[in-house]
Amino acid sequence: PPSSLRRPIRELPAELISQIAAGEVVERPASVVRELVDNAVDAGATQVTVRLVSGGVRSIVVEDDGHGIDESELALALRRHATSKIASLDDLEGVATMGFRGEALAAIASVAELAIASRPAQAAHAVRLDARSGELTPVARGTGTSIEVRELFFSTPARRKFLKSDATELAHCVDAVRRHALVRPDVGFAVWSDGRLVQRWPRGDAAARVRDVLGDAFIATSRELAALPAGAGTGHLQLRVSGRAGEPAAAKAHGDHQYVYVNGRFVRDKLIAHAVRSAYDDVLHGARQPAYLLFIEIAPERVDVNVHPTKVEVRFRDSREVHQAVRRAVEQALGNARFADAAERGL
Ligand code: ADP
Ligand code: MG
């Protein structure tokens, strides 16, 4: 009907509300993998196994050995805005878990077939909940949780059409696990595709994990950032930047290794990308992209992670200080002394 026609205002049915919301969280199989691995890590898992069929389009299973979900809470875990991770605004401001919005499982269940099987440590056996039928059945498994997601976008064919080839979707899924792997060396990760083990990152120390994930070539052509002491005026930020910066000579035409984490969370942040880029200004010309791995630690109340449903964007309360600290840390590693003298750092 023409848009000028007045039509009654109505509240949308719950199912449609969930499907609309799911659009923000679930874009492709890799978004599901990301959310499920977030949950596994939040549950204290030491081993996370991801099993994909057809690039995750047909099926995604994520298994963990975390603390599990009690049978009585399985259905609640699938409800929108139901979470065990925060209970108040105060909690939100200091949030240390990957999740806190209570949206992912509800979103995934609204655009795919989903089942959860879980066994808390003290339980006699695991229980599986099928989201569609609501049926609960006892199953065999050790402590932890397995979440199965099948036929992604089966009910939303418009979305399904945007999916790329299985190989491309698989690559994105592996990327999603890689982002976790880089920041959680204390957790082992494995990715299976169509019954084949395609990636395995065993538990280990941080340096070994970075080498495992990014390769010997990256280690050989990058320099470690000296964790900067907080400069003048940034003490209350508890700001600390660490990681590795790729040597300019090794920069690729496109930056394949560009990873930034804020308080353990992978982010894509224009401010930080700009700060890094400006550190390379004098040493890197043209469109070549440096490789880098940055871990930024900052007092949780100085950063807002609740900016976007996927939490890949963050907002800093002290963007100027963060920009400066990142730029200096990278410049220092690259041996560019321009801004790195003691006076500048206020030492
Ligand atoms: P959020 O992670 O934001 O809390 P989710 O929809 O991803 O929201 O998950 C809802 C809840 O289900 C979580 O708060 C958690 O209590 C529980 N949960 C989900 N996945 C797992 C898991 N792998 N292990 C233990 N608990 C889980
Ligand atoms: Mg979650």
Amino acid at 58: R
Residues with Cβ within 8 Å of 198's Cβ and at least 6 positions away in sequence, in order, are: 170, 174, 191, 192
Q: Choose among 129, 82, 107: nearest CA to 32.
A: 107
- Cβ of 336 below 6 Å from ligand 1: no
Q: Count CA atoms within 13 Å of residue 75 on its CB side.
A: 7
Q: Which residue is closest in CA terms to ligand 1's atom 25?
A: 68
337 phi, psi to nearest 5 deg: -85, 0
251: left (phi over 0), alpha (psi -120 to 50) or beta: beta
Q: How far is the CA of 273 from the centre of ligand 2 (A)?
A: 26
Q: Which of 61, 79, 83 to mutate to test the pocket of ligand 1 (most atoms within 8 A of CB)?
A: 83
May I ask the CATH class of domain 14-204? alpha beta
Task: Return the exposure string of 199-216: e unless at least 16 CB atoms fall within 10 Å of the residue's CB, then b.
Answer: bebeeeeeeebbebbbee
State pLDDT tens for residues 195-249: 999 999 999 999 999 999 999 999 999 999 986 554 544 678 889 999 999 999 8
Q: What is the ipTM of this complex?
A: 0.99
Ligand 2 geometric centre to CA of 184 (Å) = 16
| Ligand nearest to C-alpha 103 | 1
Q: Is the CB of 105 under 6 A from ligand 1?
A: yes
Question: Which residues are within 5 Å of ligand 2 (an ion), measured at CB?
Answer: 38-39, 99, 104
63, 74, 105, 114: which to mutate for ligand 1, most atoms within 8 A of CB? Answer: 105
Cβ of 40 less than 6 Å from ligand 1: yes
CATH class of 214-345: alpha beta
pLDDT digits (tens, 9 = 90+) for 168-196: 999 999 999 999 999 999 999 999 999 99
The predicted model scores a pTM of 0.92
Query: Which pLDDT tens digit goes with each residue over 249-288?
Result: 888 766 679 999 999 999 999 999 999 999 998 888 777 8
Residue scoring higher pLDDT (248 or 63): 63
Residue 105 CA: nearest ligand 1 atom is 6
Domain range list for the chain: 14-204, 214-345
Q: Whose CA is nearest to atom 14 of ligand 1?
A: 83
